[in-house]
Structure 1
Amino acid sequence: MSEVQAKSPSELIDARIEELGDWRGETLARIRALIKEVDPEVTEEWKWRGVPTWYHAGMLFTGETYKKAVKMTFAKGAALDDAKGLFTSSLDGNVRRAIDFHEGAAIDEAALKELIRAAVGHNLSGAG
């Protein structure tokens, strides 16, 4: 069994945050904390060779890290009301929507928690 297979998804996400060691790790850790605050029943998975992914009654979000952004992709974002206009990418897609967080940018935590709550509610409702 490889080292990656021996670790739980949560441990792999912890390791990614530590490995990043910069604003991206801090941002991913903050997003993760907000997700868990809103939905303590969320489960974490490690997908596609290294993408933190959160589930509750289906996929909710991914947390991808790039050189200049941390991207939180909402699996069914197009079905959510983004009243505060947080979505910044994947806007022409049929299903997904994403928020790109950049170095030094403040996170509107209240608005993000509202959007997280909406995503969980959408999944729990059984809606497409």
Structure 2
Amino acid sequence: MSQPEAEQRASDLIDARIRELGDWRGETLARLRALIHEADPEVVEEWKWRGVPVWSHDGILCTGETYKQVVKMTFAKGAALEDPAGLFNASLEGNTRRAIDLREGEPIDAEALKALIRAAVALNRAKKKGRSK
């Protein structure tokens, strides 16, 4: 499968996940997805680990996991990111990942989230540039 075909398949699977959830979790996942694309129009959608939406740009940026009580947005290198708005509220104990757990009815600070996504892209680009020297 070519890269564009794989990306389209992943996008279709994410669409299907949003539809099958059919509740606030699907709406939240769709909103997060839209904000990711607004923050980084070049983002690549992937489908990994038996059904987890993944967004990448020069490496994994974040995942969108859905559970009964939360939609979890996990940033692969979140511990290395500045979070001035205090969005990270889960997976705080490790030294690599950080996550945002969103519960039903909770607002999303769109501008702060987009800034976090852009920071994750910049971090991935810097790491890639460092490896290519």
State the alpha-carbon separation in 2 of the partners of residues 59 and 106 from structure 1. Answer: 25
1:23 aligned to 2:24? Answer: yes
Map of 1:62-81 to 2, 5 A cutoff? 62-81=63-82
Q: TM-score, normalised by structure 2?
A: 0.89
How many equivalent residue pairs?
Answer: 123
Partner of 1:125: 126
Q: TM-score, normalised by structure 1?
A: 0.93
SS, match of residue 120 in structure 2: helix
Partner of 2:9: 8
One-letter code of the match for 2:74?
Answer: T
Task: After the TM superposition, list the runs of 4 or more consecutive aligned residues in structure 1 that deviate by more than 6 angstroms.
Answer: none
SS, match of residue 87 in structure 1: coil
Superposition CA RMSD, Å:
1.5
State the alpha-carbon separation in 2 of the partners of residues 55 and 115 from structure 1. Answer: 14
SS, match of residue 88 in structure 1: coil
State the alpha-carbon separation in 1 of the partners of residues 56 and 112 from structure 2. Answer: 20
Map of 1:15-94 to 2, 5 A cutoff? 15-94=16-95
State the alpha-carbon separation in 1 of the partners of residues 10 and 81 from structure 2. Answer: 27
State the alpha-carbon separation in 2 of the partners of residues 35 and 80 from structure 1. Answer: 16
Unaligned runs of 5+ residues in structure 1 are none
State the alpha-carbon separation in 1 of the partners of residues 26 and 102 from structure 2. Answer: 12
The structure with more helix, counted as a fraction of residues: 2
Partner of 1:115: 116
Unaligned runs of 5+ residues in structure 2 are 1-5
State the alpha-carbon separation in 1 of the partners of residues 117 and 56 from structure 2. Answer: 11
Q: Deviations over 1:11-30 (max 9, x none)?
A: 00000000000000000000
Q: CA deviation at 1:94?
A: 1.2
